[in-house]
Amino acid sequence: MNLETTSIEEITSHFGEYVDLAIQFGTKLLIAVVILIAGLWLASKFTKSFRKIMIAREIDSSLISFLSSLVGVILKLLVVIIVLATVGIEMTSIVAILGAASLAIGMALSGTLQNFAGGVVILLLARSRVKPSTAARLASVATKVICSGSPPLKS
């Protein structure tokens, strides 16, 4: 038999299988693209509404920026994970790697993250605003306490 004839016959015999696989993967890919577009749109809408709710509740502007960015990144990451699962990529190992990496980063930065979380809690719970004159008096008292090592005496 001729080598060229055999390869053409094999290609034509497997052509139907290739078309079926292309159609099956193409539909998965099309569904994944639709999920990606819709998911990113919904994530941005949710992030904007989350920002508006925080602005309406008069939360500190730096905290609004941080929390809305955090919510947006988490939602976009979830959309990407859903899209990858839709295409057919196994997510078990990827989620395990993400979990291990976040645990390692969290343990490495534990002191810093505690301080950061404390600052976020203070910004969330600090509803009353301090006048500049009151803040200056509190700063001077704190400076006296730190410098002398003892609390100021009441007269």
pTM value > 0.85: no
Please give the pLDDT value at position 68. 92
Please give the pLDDT value at position 25. 84
Q: Any idea where the domains of the chain sit in the sequence?
A: 3-97, 109-155
Closest CA to 75 of 109, 99, 41, 105: 41
Q: Check if the beta carbon of residue 113 is closer than 8 Å to that of residue 103.
A: no
Helices (runs of H) and strands (runs of E) counted in the chain = 5, 0
Paired tokens of 79? 């959309």
Express each pLDDT in 65-121 by its tens digit. Answer: 888 999 999 999 999 989 998 988 888 888 888 889 989 988 888 888 788 788 877
Dist. CA 124–CA 149, nearest whole Å: 31
Please give the pLDDT value at position 53. 93
Name the CATH topology of 3-97: Helix Hairpins (1.10.287)
Is pLDDT at 134 greater than 90 in this prediction?
no
The runs of H, that is alpha helices, within 57-91 are 61-87
Express each pLDDT in 19-78 by its tens digit. Answer: 777 888 888 899 999 999 999 999 999 999 999 999 998 888 888 888 899 999 999 999
